């Protein structure tokens, strides 16, 4: 890939019957950027993410993800991205190692690669001793860290994180963010949604969706200046209540 953008969207639109869930959104995400994708419940975030991940065909517009067209190359996109959601990420009744092996397989890695990366990953998380424990026996914070690592096992160009830190204690939440920083530092693009407005400030840039449209897009500092707000919480309230 020779361009500098991991995601390019132009007038991306999706309708469900007469309802326009995503209404001509345009934005770019740079490679290695941590991009916060915020919005009220029902603003169209999930629909937009599903299109970008190649899970839903848009009704109109253009978009490229990791250099692939979201209309024609959905399968290619799936191989080049990672996805982690708060609700479902790991199989509770499989061991740590089995989960890694499963996802490695899903992402098309060879067995030798899976073995090698599983060792690296467990070592990095300090979970080598726990490799044969069932995932359900892990504390939530560890599960989330493991889920993130598993979502990146195939060295994807972009990782989509859908409210990854919901309900996690404040210390573990910050450890999780250290993993995100590290991945971004290594060149992985991070596309993240969160309801913790203070976390939004850890992103390089943030977009804010209201009723299907992107209403603002800037750095956290830029948004606070533009809306004369003290915090991102303020920015959010001002933008969504206009």
Where do contacts with another protein occur on this chain (CB under 8 A)? 39-43, 139-140, 163, 166-172, 174, 177-178, 181-182, 184-185, 195-198, 201-202, 220-221, 231-233, 236-237, 240-241
Rg (CA), the chain: 18
CB nearer another protein, residue 83 or residue 196: 196
Phi and psi for 36 in degrees, rounded to 5? -90, 125
CB nearer another protein, residue 26 or residue 231: 231
The HSE-up count of residue 15 (CA atoms within 13 Å, CB side) is 6
Helices 111-125 and 140-151 cross at an angle (nearest 10°) of 140
CB nearer another protein, residue 119 or residue 234: 234
* Minimum CB–partner distance for residue 110 and another protein (Å): 32
CB nearer another protein, residue 41 or residue 132: 41
Paired with 7 in beta bridges are 29, 65
Residues with Cβ within 8 Å of residue 188, at least 6 apart in sequence: 32, 152, 155, 156, 157, 158, 159
* Minimum CB–partner distance for residue 147 and another protein (Å): 14
* Minimum CB–partner distance for residue 2 and another protein (Å): 25
* Minimum CB–partner distance for residue 168 and another protein (Å): 6
CB nearer another protein, residue 2 or residue 19: 19
* Minimum CB–partner distance for residue 239 and another protein (Å): 10
CB nearer another protein, residue 24 or residue 172: 172
Q: What is the total residue count of the chain?
A: 242
Token pair 């009220």 in the structure block, residue: 40
Sign of the CA dihedral 217, 220, 225, 230? positive
Q: Closest Cα partner for 135 from 106, 176, 93, 172?
A: 93
Q: To 5 degrees, how large is the angle CA 207–CA 39–CA 161? A: 75
* Minimum CB–partner distance for residue 159 and another protein (Å): 16
């Amino acid at each position: 890939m020779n361009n500098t953008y991991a995601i390019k969207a132009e007038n991306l639109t999706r309708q469900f019957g007469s309802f326009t869930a995503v209404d001509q959104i345009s934005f770019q995400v740079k490679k290695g950027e941590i991009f916060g994708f915020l919005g009220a419940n029902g603003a169209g975030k999930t629909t937009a993410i599903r299109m970008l991940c190649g899970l839903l065909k848009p009704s109109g517009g253009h978009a490229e993800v990791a250099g692939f067209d979201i209309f024609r190359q959905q399968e290619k996109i799936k191989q080049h991205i990672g996805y982690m959601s708060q609700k479902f990420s790991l199989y509770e009744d499989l061991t740590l190692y089995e989960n890694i092996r499963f996802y490695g397989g899903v992402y098309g890695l060879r067995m030798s690669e899976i073995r090698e990366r599983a060792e690296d990953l467990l070592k990095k998380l300090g979970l080598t001793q726990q490799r044969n424990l069932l995932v359900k026996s892990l504390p939530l914070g560890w599960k989330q860290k493991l889920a993130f690592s598993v979502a990146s096992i195939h060295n994807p160009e972009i990782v989509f994180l859908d409210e990854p830190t919901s309900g996690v204690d404040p210390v573990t939440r910050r450890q999780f963010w250290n993993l995100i920083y590290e991945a971004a530092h290594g060149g992985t693009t991070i596309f993240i949604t969160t309801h913790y407005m203070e976390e939004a400030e850890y992103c390089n840039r943030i977009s804010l969706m209201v009723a299907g449209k992107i209403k603002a897009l800037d750095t956290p500092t830029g948004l606070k200046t533009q809306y004369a707000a003290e915090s991102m919480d303020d920015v959010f309230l001002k933008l969504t209540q206009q």
